[in-house]
Amino acid sequence: LSPDFYPLISFKAASDPSNKLSQWNSTSPDPCSWHGVSCLPRNRRVSAIVLENLNLTGSILPLTSLSHLRILSLKANRFHGPLPPSLANLSSLTLLYLNHNHFSGPLPPSLTALTRLFRLDLSHNSLSGPIPLSLNRFSRLLTLRLHLNNFHGHLPNLSLPNLVDFNVSSNHLSGPIPLSLSSFPQSAFSHNSPSLCGPPLTQCTHKAIPALASPLNPRNDTVFSPQRRTPKLGLMLLLLIVLADLLVLAFVSLLLYCYFCRKRNHSGEGKEVRDSKERGEDSQMVFFEGEKRFQLDDLLRASAEMLGKGVFGTAYKAVLHDGTLVAVKRIKEVSVGGKREFHQRMQELGSLRHCNLVAFRAYYFAKHEKLLVSDYMPNASLSYLLHGNRGPGRTPLDWSSRVKLAGGAARGVAFLHDNKVTHGNIKSTNVLVDVAGNARIADFGLSIFAAPTTPNAYRAPDARKHTHMSDVYSFGVLLLEILTGKCPSAEAPDLPRWVRSVVREEWTAEVFDLELMSYRDVEEEMVAMLHIAIACTATAPDQRPTMSHVANMIQDLRPAGTRTQSFN
Ligand SMILES: Nc1ncnc2c1ncn2[C@@H]1O[C@H](COP(=O)(O)OP(=O)(O)OP(=O)(O)O)[C@@H](O)[C@H]1O
């Protein structure tokens, strides 16, 4: 018998007078099969309890012995009385929803043992007492909803770096709002004592200051008294101006340095290309749309900047004499076939046009030089948007943009498959973003020229050669990358396996990129996207969906009104 059986049975006995949990009894002794209960497959311990809107009542005390519990949602029931005094056993909880009940009394000190919480929602209850400063121990917390309770006293100086969803409105809180919380909207603080003050509410008046200006709290009078703030501010402003000047100076010097460095490098790169011409190779640039817009010489003379090195060669951004930006890929080696095959293949690929593909414009083939010219995409790659520039000032890629890019990319690959082309190298550096913010698939169909390479983190384990179904697998890994924020090539060489193991253990919430946890009301969409990704990365190729099915499923993730243009 599971050690969680008796706590659950006593919870039912105490809280389910209307017998909504009729399944919960000793004739079915495995709690893992009961309504609202999920277990870890590893040890059959209860990991999630979701019992919402079931008219349950009484106390939740028996649940506090469920030491493997990660998710507890009892919202919209009739639980009452104080929160259990000892919550320390529940230290694995990540999501705790007790909102819309009748809990009363203060927050128990043991609440702060739940240091793994992402979300804590205790709103719509009758909880009272102060909001303790010890909530600062919830360093992962994204959501803290305490509104519509009877909390009183001053708001503590909460410093929770990940907090994005915060509400303490409709309580009896008073005194100044700490600076650390002042960026939340007025609605997060409304309907409290009239003496709750400071941004985003009205400035604190002098009346509010005496309570703070006690000898125990010497800092506060300088923070909240406008008279004393002015000279400090003046000095700060001066310092800021000096600092800003220094920064501008440093930035200009850096720009000049980069400019000269680049000039030096380019002269080197250009020489290499010219060398091949000097070796007497007289091939022509071949354009796909008939109209010749530039010659090889134009390309050689163009100022170029290296974008990066890939499997097939090195990519450059080049500015032609008329200002046109193009991307030029110098192919290292064509491992399979010769000029005729290359020409034939490029004719096929060059004719493909779709709003989610990076169009090839031209190519050049000579013995010692193979160049591919395509449209330059100015808005970076999906890889860069997800993982690049991970500094403190970085803006994470929001959920809507992720869905939009995933949907556009799926349409692009589906179009290739409809035209009997296998991409062969789907990954986030090959999903580029155009001026309008739409995803465009790059480097399609080139894998045919490459020798079979070592497996990469996107490649289907079964794929000895590239097929549509191996593309679907790679696309599934790409979706997982979008959902988890993990870079397959750098952080998670077998992302599908990792995700499957976490999901199997019912820790789905932990799969998602922490940066996505801040978006409310999209959990369903994220879970739906996760299921698409898992289907795409099925081990058996014939169990994977087709790419057009994947594109349709991503399109259906969002209600029609919120769909983005790239889906049209
Ligand atoms: N048309 C383009 N416009 C803008 N950036 C591009 C373009 N093509 C490639 N890039 C960027 O240039 C860099 C190097 O690209 P490249 O295709 O050579 O390598 P890769 O995508 O990292 O690997 P692979 O060769 O396996 O595709 C990547 O960061 C890619 O996003």
Annotate 199-219 with DSSP letters as a single string: TTSPPP-GGGHHHH-STT-TT
Sign of CA dihedral 307, 308, 312, 313: positive
Nearest to 287 by CA among 203, 359, 357: 359
User: Closest ligand 1 atom, CA of 309?
Assistant: 18
**Three-state DSSP class for residue 163:** coil
pLDDT for 80: 95
Residue 110 burial (CB < 10 Å; 0-12/13-18/19+)?
middle
Rounded to an integer, what distance in angstroms lies between the CA atom of residue 246 and that of residue 353? 49
Report the separation in Å between the CA atom of 81 and the middle of ligand 1, taken as the mean of its atom positions: 60
Contacts of 134 (CB under 8 A, 6+ apart): 109, 112
| Ligand 1, pocket-test mutation among 381, 386, 474, 477, most atoms within 8 A of CB | 381
For residue 414, what are its two tokens? Answer: 């589906």
Please name the residue whose Cα sits nearest to atom 25 of ligand 1.
310
pLDDT at 420: 95
Q: Which residues pair with 502 in a beta bridge?
A: none
List Cβ neighbours of 186 (8 Å cut-off, separation of 6 or more).
200, 201
Pocket residue to mutate for ligand 1, from 371, 429, 456, most atoms within 8 A of Cβ: 429
Which residue's CA lies nearest to atom 1 of ligand 1?
376
Residue nearest to atom 21 of ligand 1 (CA): 429
Give the amino acid at 549: H
Q: Whose CA is nearest to atom 17 of ligand 1?
A: 310
Distances (CA, A) of 165 to 54, 92, 457: 26, 21, 35
Question: Whats the size of the chain, residue-wise?
Answer: 568
Residue with tokens 């395509």: 374
Give the Cα separation of 276 and 505 in Å (integer): 58
Closest CA to 526 of 508, 539, 544, 543: 508
Residue 559: burial class (beta carbons within 10 Å; 0-12, 13-18, 19+): exposed
Kindly report the backbone phi and psi dihedral angles of residue 564, in degrees, each rounded to the nearest multiple of 5, phi listed first. -95, 165
Q: State the Cα torsion 509-513-514-517 to the nearest 10°.
A: -60
CA of 104 to the centre of ligand 1 (A): 58
Tell me whether residue 75 is annotated as binding. Answer: no
Binding-site residues, ligand 1, Cβ < 6 A: 307-312, 315, 327, 329, 358, 374-377, 381, 425, 429-430, 432, 442-443
pLDDT in tens, the chain (568 residues): 789 999 999 999 999 999 999 989 878 888 988 888 888 767 788 888 888 889 999 989 999 999 999 888 898 999 999 999 989 999 988 889 999 999 999 999 999 999 988 889 999 999 999 999 999 999 888 789 999 999 999 999 999 887 878 999 999 999 999 999 998 889 999 999 999 999 999 988 754 333 333 222 333 322 222 333 334 445 566 677 667 666 655 654 555 454 444 443 444 343 344 444 444 445 678 888 765 567 777 777 777 889 988 877 889 999 887 788 899 998 876 665 678 888 888 999 999 999 999 999 998 888 788 889 999 999 999 999 998 865 445 578 999 999 999 999 999 999 999 999 999 999 999 999 999 999 999 999 988 777 656 668 899 887 778 899 999 999 999 999 999 888 887 767 788 988 887 776 556 667 887 677 666 567 778 888 999 999 999 999 999 999 999 999 999 987 654 544 332 2
Q: How many helices (H) and strands (E) does the chain have?
A: 13, 21
User: In which residue are the tokens 């997800």 written?
Assistant: 386
477 CA distance to ligand 1 centroid (A)? Answer: 18
Residues 49 and 77 sit within 8 Å (Cβ to Cβ):
no
DSSP, collapsed to helix, strand or coil, labels residue 47 as strand
Of the candidates 168, 150, 159, 14, the residue with the CA atom closest to the CA atom of residue 77: 14
285 Cα to the center of ligand 1, angstroms: 21
Say what the pLDDT of residue 263 is: 40
**Which pLDDT belongs to residue 348?**
92
Distance CA 509, CA 527 (A): 9
CA of 377 from ligand 1 middle (Å) equals 10
Residue 544's alpha-carbon distances to 237, 406, 460, 536, 539, in angstroms, are 60, 17, 11, 5, 8
Structure tokens at 28: 């079915």
Distance, CA 385 to ligand 1 centroid (Å)?
Answer: 14
ipTM (interface predicted TM): 0.97
Q: Is the Cα dihedral 497, 501, 506, 508 positive or negative?
A: negative
* CA 380–ligand 1 middle distance (angstroms): 9
21 residue type, one letter: L
pLDDT of 518 reads: 60
- φ, ψ for residue 99, nearest 5 deg: -70, 160
User: Which conformational region is residue 197 in: left (phi greater than 0), alpha (psi within -120 to 50 degrees), or beta?
Assistant: beta
Q: Which atom of ligand 1 is nearest to the CA of 327?
A: 1
> What residues contact 156, with CB distance under 8 A and at least 6 apart?
130, 131, 132, 133, 135, 136, 178
State the closest ligand 1 atom to the C-alpha of 358, by its place in the atom list counted from 1.
Answer: 1
How distant, in Å, are the alpha carbons of 373, 460, 494 from that of 455? 27, 8, 11
Q: What are phi and psi of 519, to 5 degrees?
A: -90, 120
Q: Which atom of ligand 1 is least distant from the CA of 430? A: 21
Alpha helices in 279-325 (DSSP H): 296-301
